[in-house]
């Protein structure tokens, strides 16, 4: 892990180290374009072929249905079932609180405007299943989709070696009332949901994190197929800001929690002293030895870095430039920093708030903007699954009040038909 001193960095150097390194994007784009185009033209056959090529599974059909889902779900260990139930309740409670009805506003006497919420009718949920299978992501996407009232929810996840799904995803499907899971992964799943195939329905918006191929595919179908996406959600990342009140073993565990997602995950430590950095690196070495995915985590840590700052405020300044997916404030003085945060996907406050709590069960959504997109995007929420439609009504009194304003502005813009649409009504009042 490379170490930088913030005060010695120029503005250009800060911008440079904040860039996510995606050197192979051109190659990935070319591969993804080929996958998307083939799924578009060949449909199910392409999906069967890609399952064999990428997942090493010869599928007989591209989905499993309710009876099979229930059978697989019944094999879930009791402890895991209880944990998923708890996470389900917390996530549902948090997202349900985001639903509200807006008031009608009379902008001037007789002119009433308001907005109403409508669910996106057909949504696609991509649940990763490569080096790690993520039932937590299924909860994070499925719960707000159900709460929003989406009429059709298409779920895609890569097949397991037995050509099915695992008991954890199956149990979540039962909880959510999802009766079909499509056994499709990677860029091909995104393409299938964007264009539709003989088996996989076309959707209006695609949700879910994934590797660079999935991220690239989502961005591609948004531009060429007109399919909306939640956000560019690529490799996972965390930035930990720590001072002398932090515990280095906690910091190390948080950094490793992100690092084990994948070799391209990024873990950043920003600390107010060299001792915190040294102690944390020592703890990383100790904890790394105990991890089943230590090779993956070690490679991610090697590609990450630490930044030495003079104080917490300077650390927040760097964090806002980096715009992390996850920001952990490992300090007892987190309250004073909250107003200074402008760019972050989700923030974890204090030394007893690990990022993994948000990943699984605290209630907030873990599908978050990465690669600096937290400067402009929010994480997934109930709002992600709905549209807001504006309405207005003008009474006779309202038309008299607003009519001249519209006429004058329309004439100023040279749009006389716009003016006439008001004038013809005013004459009959």
- Opening angle at CA 189, ends 134 and 228, nearest 5: 95
Provide the annotated active-site residues: 325-326
Distance CA 287, CA 81 (A): 28
Angle made by CA atoms 71, 292, 136, in degrees to the nearest 5: 45
CA distance 423 to 158: 60
Euclidean distance between CA atoms 148 and 8, whole angstroms: 49
User: Which structure tokens are listed for 279?
Assistant: 């102690």
Q: DSSP string of 54-88?
A: HS----SSSEEEHHHHHHHHTTS-HHHHHHHHHHH
* Burial state string for 133-156 with b = 16 or more CB within 10 A and e = fewer than 16: bbbbbbbbbbbbbbbbebeebbbb
Provide the H-helix boundaries in 177-308.
186-195, 212-224, 248-259, 274-288, 294-302
Nearest residue to 54 via CA among 46, 63, 43: 46
Query: Strands of 152-156's sheet, edge to edge?
Result: 63-65, 180-182, 152-156, 122-126, 205-207, 228-229
Phi first, then psi: give them for residue 250, nearest 5 degrees: -65, -45
Angle at 329 between CA 328 and CA 332, to 5 degrees: 145
3-state secondary structure of 332: coil
Give the CA radius of gyration of the chain.
25
Q: Which residue has the tokens 């902008």?
A: 107
């Amino acid at each position: 892990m490379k170490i930088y001193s913030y005060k010695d960095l120029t503005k250009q150097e800060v911008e440079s180290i904040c860039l996510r390194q995606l050197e192979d994007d051109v190659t990935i784009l070319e591969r993804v374009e080929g996958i998307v185009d083939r799924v578009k033209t060949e449909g199910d056959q392409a999906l069967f072929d890609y399952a064999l090529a990428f997942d090493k599974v010869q599928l007989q059909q591209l989905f499993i249905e309710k009876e099979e889902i229930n059978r697989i779900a019944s094999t879930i260990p009791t402890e895991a079932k209880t944990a998923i139930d708890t996470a389900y309740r917390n996530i549902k409670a948090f997202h349900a609180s985001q639903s509200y009805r807006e008031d009608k506003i009379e902008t001037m006497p007789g002119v009433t405007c308001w907005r109403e919420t409508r669910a996106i009718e057909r949504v696609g949920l991509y649940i990763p299943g490569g080096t790690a299978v993520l039932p937590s992501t299924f909860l994070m996407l499925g719960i707000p989709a159900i709460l929003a009232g989406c009429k059709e929810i298409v779920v895609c996840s890569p097949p397991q070696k037995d050509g099915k799904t695992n008991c954890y995803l199956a149990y979540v499907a039962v909880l959510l009332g999802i009766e079909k899971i499509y056994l499709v992964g990677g860029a091909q799943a995104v393409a299938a949901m964007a264009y539709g195939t003989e088996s996989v329905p076309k959707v209006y918006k695609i949700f879910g994190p994934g590797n660079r191929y999935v991220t690239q595919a989502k961005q591609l179908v948004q531009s060429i197929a007109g399919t909306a996406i939640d956000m560019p959600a690529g490799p996972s990342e965390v930035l930990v800001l720590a001072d002398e009140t932090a515990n280095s073993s906690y910091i190390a565990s948080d950094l490793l929690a992100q690092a084990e997602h994948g070799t391209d995950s990024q873990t950043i430590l920003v600390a107010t002293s060299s001792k915190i950095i040294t102690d944390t690196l020592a703890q990383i070495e100790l904890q790394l030895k105990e991890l089943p995915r230590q090779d993956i985590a070690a490679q991610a840590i090697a590609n990450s870095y630490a930044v030495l700052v003079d104080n917490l405020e300077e650390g927040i300044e760097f964090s806002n430039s980096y715009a992390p997916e996850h920001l952990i404030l490992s300090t007892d003085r987190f309250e004073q920093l909250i107003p200074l945060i402008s760019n972050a996907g989700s923030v974890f406050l204090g030394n007893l708030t690990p990022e993994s709590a948000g990943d699984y069960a605290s209630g907030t959504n873990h599908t978050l903007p990465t690669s600096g997109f937290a400067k402009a995007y929010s994480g997934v929420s109930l709002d992600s699954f709905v549209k807001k439609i504006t309405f207005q009504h003008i009474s006779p009194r309202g038309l008299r009040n607003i009519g001249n304003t519209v006429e004058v502005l329309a004439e100023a813009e040279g749009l006389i038909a716009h003016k006439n649409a008001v004038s013809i009504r005013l004459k009959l009042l």
